[in-house]
Amino acid sequence: MGRLEGKVAVITGGASGIGEASVRLFAEEGAEVVVADVQDERGGGLASELGAEYVHADVTREEDVEAAVSHAVDAYGRLDCMFNNAGIAGAVGPIESVTVEAFDRTVAVLLRGVFLGIKHAAPVIRAQGGGSIINTASVAAIRTGYGNHVYSAAKAGVVQLTRSVAMELGEDNVRVNCVLPGYIPTPMIALARGVPLGEADGKLGVITESFREAQPIRRPGRPDDIAKAALWLASDDSGFVNGHALVVDGGVSGGRMWSDYQDAIKGLERKLGLSR
């Protein structure tokens, strides 16, 4: 029996990257899944492959998010997990180059989208006696230099929104937690740097190789690393976990790697005329 047997989950941004990995793992573990995304062809194909449901959902539009939650209830009669995962890289570049339009779009997807998912899932999950809401944040929420300015600020907002709402909904046995991925190669990284949508998947090998040495665990993160963390937060195994920010980053946010520190010390010793 799977860890999500009998449960129903909505996963936003479920057509690719971390979302797709989560859809596949949740379904494998027995959940009925609603894939919510704006990539209709890809999301619909994934849903058909797994026997899941697909709904077009732009998470910046309240009516779309509300419809995704309603779709789950109409199709399966309940909602046990809302995984607010949809994201974009958003505004890039130095602060003076960021337009108001890019700022608003970034915050709309990354923070308002999470807010709307919580808002519309909460009453359904609360009414049935409990469940789990999971939000995707980032190590950029807790460390500078791991994301663009507006992205980092929006993800920090996701962490604090998670903690704050957990104090309200926890009283009704609705757990609200977030997962903070580190360097995870996904098509979004290529898209953020101007690679056309149809070519982004083909750049994953290059992105993956560039992340190989970025953290103490000497391999790039994988979407399924985050999916496994989300699975735990969705399952009853984490039944006493609420308001938690779960970092899944191979240790990158812990600080300077030991080997880098040693290289820096050796460089300093050379400048001082010392040797050992």
Instruction: Supply the pLDDT for residue 272.
Output: 73
Asked whether residue 106 is domain-assigned, the answer is yes
Is 1 within the bounds of a domain? no
Tokens 């820096």, residue? Answer: 264
Give the residue among 74, 33, 225 at the shortest CA–CA distance from 136: 225
Q: Kindly state whether residue 37 falls inside one of the protein's structural domains.
A: yes
Return the DSSP state at 219.
Answer: S
CA angle 19, 4, 109 (to 5 degrees): 25
Q: Is residue 3 part of a domain?
A: no
Q: Distance of CA 248 to CAs 137, 160, 183, 226, 230, Å?
A: 11, 18, 9, 7, 10
CATH number, residue 241: 3.40.50.720
Sequence letter at residue 152: S
52 has a pLDDT exceeding 80: yes
How many structural domains are present in the chain?
1
Residue 30 confidence (pLDDT) above 60: yes
Tokens 């399924």 correspond to what residue?
224
Rg of the Cα trace of the chain?
20
- 150-170 pLDDT, tens digit per residue, is 999 999 999 999 999 999 999
Q: Please compute the mean of the pLDDT values over residues 14-33 and round it to a whole number.
A: 97
Q: Is residue 276 part of a domain?
A: no
Asked if residues 91 and 108 have their Cβ atoms less than 8 Å apart, the reply is no
194 confidence band (pLDDT: 50, 70, 90): low
Active site amino acids: 138, 151, 155
Determine the straight-line distance between the first and last CA of the chain, rounded to whole angstroms. Answer: 58
pLDDT (mean) for 97-122: 98
Is 54 part of a structural domain of the chain? yes
* Span 224-263, pLDDT tens digits: 999 999 999 999 999 999 999 999 999 988 887 888 878 8
Assess if residue 2 is contained within a domain. no
Q: In the structure, what pLDDT confidence band is assigned to residue 205 with cuts at 50, 70 and 90?
A: confident
Phi-psi bin for 204: left (phi > 0), alpha (psi -120 to 50), beta? alpha
Sign of CA dihedral 233, 239, 243, 245: negative
* Cβ count near 26 (within 10 Å): 29
Tens digit of each residue's pLDDT (9 = 90 or more) over 72-88: 999 999 999 999 999 99
Which pair of structure tokens corresponds to residue 24? 């596949």
pLDDT number for residue 142: 96
The average confidence (pLDDT) of the chain is 92
Classify residue 156: in a domain, yes or no.
yes
Domain that includes residue 247, residue range: 8-271
